[in-house]
């Protein structure tokens, strides 16, 4: 004898307000009341729209990519001319200053180059790899604890470069 089912409470979608029904699972059983009571939205589309409305408000989008997509004057990167200009860079580095004079439409690679400028090696001036050293000095630092240390050959003790 099957157990009697509890009545389904009346619930409404948090986004569209439509009355929600308990769905049938792939095995034919009705969704449990525990899971049904946890649902906020009637389907995935309402869930995505509700999340975007909550986290990405139309009046003040939170990140540069969203601002760039919402702007009407889509175009190429202002630095390299590439078509994929989806990022917005703030010239004065103030993300709250969204005046058109302060915004620069650029592609992702140009944006990364602006924000990830690498200084030269502290020792020799070559391009930096990590911790302020070039590849050679970085490896020496990792191996010996000092970027100026090296082995002259297999049989000699560690030597320090003198500049």
Q: Which helix (H) or strand (E) holds 8?
A: none
Q: How are beta strands 87-90 and 149-151 bridged, if at all? A: unpaired
pLDDT, tens digit (0-9, with 9 covering 90-100), for 77-121: 888 998 878 888 888 888 777 788 888 888 888 888 888 777 888
Contacts of 87 (CB under 8 A, 6+ apart): 64, 65, 68, 105, 106, 107, 108, 110, 111
Report the C-alpha gap between 13 and 69 in whole angstroms: 28
Same domain, 90 and 126: no
Same domain, 141 and 163: yes
Same domain, 103 and 89: yes
How many domains would you assign to the chain? Answer: 3
Same domain, 123 and 101: no
Phi, psi for residue 120 in degrees, rounded to 5: -75, 165
Task: Provide the pLDDT for residue 68.
Answer: 53
Same domain, 36 and 17: yes
Asked if the structure places residue 1 within a domain, the reply is no
Asked if the structure places residue 5 within a domain, the reply is no
Asked if the structure places residue 4 within a domain, the reply is no
Q: Which helix (H) or strand (E) holds 19?
A: strand 19-20
Contacts of 105 (CB under 8 A, 6+ apart): 68, 71, 75, 77, 78, 85, 87, 88
Q: Count CA atoms within 13 Å of residue 45 on its CB side.
A: 2
Task: Provide the pLDDT for residue 118.
Answer: 75
Same domain, 82 and 99: yes
Contacts of 51 (CB under 8 A, 6+ apart): none
Same domain, 70 and 85: yes
Asked if the structure places residue 140 within a domain, the reply is yes
Question: And the tokens for 137?
Answer: 């000095």
Q: Which domain holds residue 24?
A: 11-54
Question: Contacts for 3-10 with beta carbons within 8 Å, 24 or more apart?
Answer: 5/30, 6/33, 8/33, 8/36, 9/33, 9/36, 9/37
Task: Provide the pLDDT for residue 54.
Answer: 80
Same domain, 100 and 124: no
Same domain, 105 and 148: no
Same domain, 126 and 110: no
| Digitized pLDDT (tens) for each residue of the chain, 163 residues in all | 566 667 888 999 998 999 998 888 889 888 888 888 999 999 999 999 888 888 765 555 555 556 555 554 567 888 899 887 888 888 888 877 778 888 888 888 888 888 877 788 888 888 887 788 888 888 888 888 888 887 766 555 566 666 5
Asked if the structure places residue 38 within a domain, the reply is yes
Same domain, 21 and 66: no
Asked if the structure places residue 2 within a domain, the reply is no
Asked if the structure places residue 44 within a domain, the reply is yes
Same domain, 109 and 71: yes
């Amino acid at each position: 004898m099957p157990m009697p089912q509890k009545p389904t409470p009346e619930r409404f979608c948090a986004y569209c307000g439509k009355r929600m029904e308990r769905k049938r699972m792939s095995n034919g059983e009705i969704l449990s009341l525990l899971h049904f009571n946890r649902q906020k939205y009637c389907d995935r589309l309402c869930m995505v729209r509700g999340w975007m409305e909550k986290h990405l408000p139309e009046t003040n989008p939170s990140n540069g990519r969203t601002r760039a997509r919402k702007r009407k004057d889509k175009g190429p990167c202002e630095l390299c001319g590439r078509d994929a200009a989806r990022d917005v860079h703030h010239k004065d580095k103030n993300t709250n200053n969204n005046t058109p004079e302060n915004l620069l439409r650029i592609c992702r690679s140009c944006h990364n180059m602006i924000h990830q400028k690498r200084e030269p090696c502290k020792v020799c001036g070559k391009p930096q790899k990590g911790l302020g050293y070039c590849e050679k000095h970085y490896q020496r630092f990792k191996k010996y604890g000092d970027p100026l240390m090296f082995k002259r050959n297999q049989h000699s003790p560690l030597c320090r470069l003198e500049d």
